Amino acid sequence: MSTSGQRAASALAGEAEIRGQSTLVLDYASGRTLYADAADGLRYPASLTKMMTLYLLFETIGEGRLSLDSELIVSENAASKPPAKIGLKAGSTIRVRDAAQAIAVKSANDVATVIAENLGGSEDGFAAAMTAKARSLGMSRTQFANASGLPDPRQISTARDMATLGRALLSRFPQYAPLFSVTEFEYGGKSFKATNKLLGKVPGVDGLKTGYIRDAGFHLVATAKRGGRRIIVVVMGGEKGKERDAKVIALIDQYLGAAQFAER
Average pLDDT, the chain: 93
Structural domain boundaries, residue 253: 12-261
**Dist CA 156 CA 189 (whole Å):** 36
Q: Answer whether residue 257 is part of any domain.
A: yes
Number of structural domains the chain divides into:
1
Number of neighbours of residue 172 by Cβ within 10 angstroms: 14
| pLDDT higher than threshold 90 for residue 259 | no
Which amino acid, residue 259? A
Look at residue 263 in the predicted model and tell me its pLDDT: 39
**pTM across the whole model:** 0.92
| pLDDT higher than threshold 50 for residue 7 | no
Q: Answer whether residue 7 is part of any domain.
A: no
Look at residue 19 in the predicted model and tell me its pLDDT: 65
Q: Answer whether residue 76 is part of any domain.
A: yes
Angle 109-120/123-136 helices, nearest 10 degrees? 90
Q: Answer whether residue 3 is part of any domain.
A: no
Which residue numbers are catalytic? 47, 50, 107
Sheet of 22-27, strand order = 33-37, 22-27, 229-238, 217-226, 205-213
**Dist CA 10 CA 107 (whole Å):** 27
Q: 190: annotated binding-site residue?
A: no
